[in-house]
Structure 1
Amino acid sequence: MLPRIVLASLHTRKTSATLIVVAIALSLVMIVGIERLRHQVRANFASTVSGIDLIVSARGGPMNILLYSVFRLSDPTAGIRWDTVEHLADHPDVKWWIPIALGDSHRGFPVVATNDSYLAHYRYGRDQALSLADGQWFAGADQVVLGSAVAQRLGYQLGDDMVLAHGASGPAIIEHDNHPFTVVGVLSATGTPVDQSVHVSLAGMAAIHSGGQFRSGLPPRPGQRADTPDSVNAVMLGLERRTAVLSLQRELSRYKAEPLSAIIPGVQLQRLWRMTAVGENALRATSMAVLLVALLVLVSTILAALEGRRHELAVLRAAGAGRLAVYGVIVGESLLVTVIGSLLGLTLLFVAQWALAPLALAEWSLRLPDTFLSVRELPTLAAILLAGSLAGLIPAEKAFRNSLADGLTPRN
C-alpha cells in the first residue's frame, strides 16, 4: 500500500517532482563528472611518464622541464650539448636513453626529434610500448612519423609530403621548405601527448637547421657528425637499478662540463597535483553546493505540499498508520526522487562520455572512462542517496505531529 501512496503522491506533483529530479541529476553529473575527470587526468599524466627514471635538461625549473619535455605544455629552454648526451649514454647506471629535441612545429603540432630508442623504450600506461598503426618508423633524414591525432586532424596519408616550421608555438617563424619530409608511419593512439606530436630523426632536425645548428646557433664542433644536432633539449633515462636514481641525480647536479638539472617525473607530478589541489577543491565545493541547493528545494517542496495533504495524512493515521508508516510515505518520496535523479544523472554522464570520447582523445589526448558506475564512486552515490533520504525527515516529523483533529476538521 505504501509504495502506491508514494507513487500517487508524486504523480499529483509531477511538475515539481520532475524539476527536483533534474536538479539532482545535474548535481550528480557535476560531482561524479568532476571526480572522474580529475582521476582520468591524473591517470593520463601518470601514464605518460611510465618507466622514465630521470629527465635530464639544461639547468632550469623542474616543473617547466617536465611540462615541455613530456607534455609539450611549455616552451623549451636552452639545450644540453651533444657530448653531454654521449656522456649520459655511456654512464654505467644508464640502461637506455631517449634524446628529445624540440623547437619546431607543423601547423600547431610540436615536432619531436629523437632516435630509435623512442620507439623501443618509451612507455605509457601500464608499461605499454609504442606501436605503429600504419607504415614504419623513420629510417632517414627526410622521413616523418605522425602521432594518431596529427594524422587524423590534418588528414595525412603515407607518402604525403609536409614542411616543418621553426617555432614551438604560435605563428611559424621560418618555413623549412628547402627540406620537405615524407610521411612514412602513423603511431597507434596512446591517449598521451605522443598523439599530438610529429616525430623526426635527429639527422632530419640537423638537416633542416644547416648541419647541426638548431638551438644554440653555435657552429659545429670539430669532429662533430653532420647528422647530429649540436644540442638537444632533454634526455629521458631508464636506469639499470632504480636505487641509483638519487645518486645519479646528485651526480648530474654537480656536472662540471655544463649546468644540468635531473628531475624525477613522479616527484614532479606529485608537486603538480599539490599545486592544482586548490582548484580541484573549489570545483568539488561548487558541485556540493549545487547538490545542497537541490536537496533544500526538495525539503521545501515537500513542506509546501504538506498543507494540501493534511486530509490525506490524517486519513492515513485514522486507518491505523503509525510514525513508521508516515515516515515511510514522506521519506519514501524523497528517496525515490533522489534515486530517479541519480539514475538520470549517471545516464546523462555515460552518454556524454560516449559522445565526447573521440573528441577528447583527438583534441586533448585524454581517454574518458567508459563505465556507467565504478566501485570507486559507490561511496559518493551512497552519500547522495542518504542525503536524499534525510531530506525527508523534517517534513515527515512535521506531518506526523499534525493532529488527527486538525487534519480531519475542515478549515474556513
Structure 2
Amino acid sequence: MDSVDSSETTPPTEVLSSVFHLYECRRDGDRLLYYGEVLVPERMLLREIWPAFRSAGYEVQLAQTDRAQDVLVARPLDTPDGSLPWKNLLLLALTICSTLFVGATAWYYVPASEIFANPLSALQAWPFTAAVLGVLLVHELGHYAMARYHGVDVSLPYVIPFIFPFGTMGAIIRMRGQMPDRKSLFDIGVAGPLAGLAATIVITVIGLSLDPITVPERVLSGGGEVIVFNNPPLLDIIAVLINQPVAYGTAASPATNVPLNPVGAAILDLIGQPSVSDRTGVTVHPVIIGGWVGMFFTVLNLLPVGQLDGGHMLRAMLGERQETVAAMVPLALFGLSAYLYYGRGLSINESVGLWAFWGLFSTFIAFNGPAHPIDDTGLDAKRMAVGVFTFLLGLLCFMLVPIQLLGA
C-alpha cells in the first residue's frame, strides 16, 4: 500500500474538511483509502463529497477498518475497455438456442426427434424467439440507457436461458454505481417497464395480425396435460381495438386448449370463455406468446418490493415509507394464493403455487431493499404522475390466475 503522490489526479481533499477529519490518504491498487474520523451522519457525508469524487472519476463509500477506524474507499469508475462482453454474448446465444428449441417443440409442434435429427428445423420458431427476446431486451435496454444518461454504472443485459414454457427466465442488468438522487432512481426504474410495455404492445399487435397455427392431429389426439395462459386485460383490449380474435374453436371446446408437445397451451379469458370463431384445429400464433410474456413479466417487475422495478420506483416516490408497503407485499401474495385455494377452489397447479412462490420470494428480497439515493429530495409532480400511470398500466397486465396446468 503506497502513499498518494500529490501530482496524481485524485479527488480534492478540501471537500472533506467540514465532514471528515482526514488523518492519512493511501493507495491500494486502483483504490484510494482516506483514513480519518466522520464528523457528520453518513448520508450527509456522502451527499457532501460525492459530486467532487464523481467529477474526478471515482465512486466513494464509507467503511471501517478492523480497528473500527473510519475509512473512505474511492474506486475508479468502470470505463469501457473496448473488449467484447463475452459472458453477455454467451448467455444470449444459449438463450436463442433454448427459445428456438422450446418455441419449435411447444408452440410450432415440431417433434423433438426431428430437431435432434436436423437442428435447423428449429429455426422455424424464430418469430417466437424474436418476440420473447425482443420484449425482454427492450425492457432491460430501457434501464441501461437511462442509467447511462444519469451517469450510473450498469452492466449490459444478461439473458437467462431456461426450459419450458418460454425458453428463458428473463433478463437482468447489474447496477454497480451509486444512485445520485431520487430522480435518477425513478427514471432508471420506470424506463424498463415503459419501454418493455411499448415493445409488448407492438409484438401483441403483430401476433394478433398473423394467421393462427394449425395443430397437428397427433397432438390433438395425443392427450397429456394442458397449460392454460389466461388473458390479461391489456391483451383483450388490444384484440378488441384491432378486431382480432385471441382464441379459436367453440365456446364449449376451444381449439386453443389443445395439448402441446409434450404438454399443452391455450390463451383463455380470466373469467368466462375466450373470444371464439368457427375455425377448429388451430391455435394462436406464437408471437402472441411474446406479448403475453411481456405483460406477465411487467406485473412481476412492478411489485413494489426489493430490487424489482416497482421497488425502485416506489422508493423514489415515497422515500423510506416504501418499506412499509414492501412489508405488505408478501402478505398480499400469500393472501391471494390462499383466496384462490380456499375461496375459488383452485389447485396448486392453477396459480396457487405461483403466487405462494412469489410471496416467499418477495419476503427474501424485501430484506435487500431498493437502492438508497445519496440525495433524498422528493420527486416533482410530473414524475409522480408518470409513476402512478405506470402502476396503473401494470394493473392492466394483472391476472388472478395467469397460468393453469390442467389434465387432458
TM-score calculated relative to the size of structure 1 = 0.23
Q: Which has the higher contact order (CA 8 A, sep 6+)?
A: 1
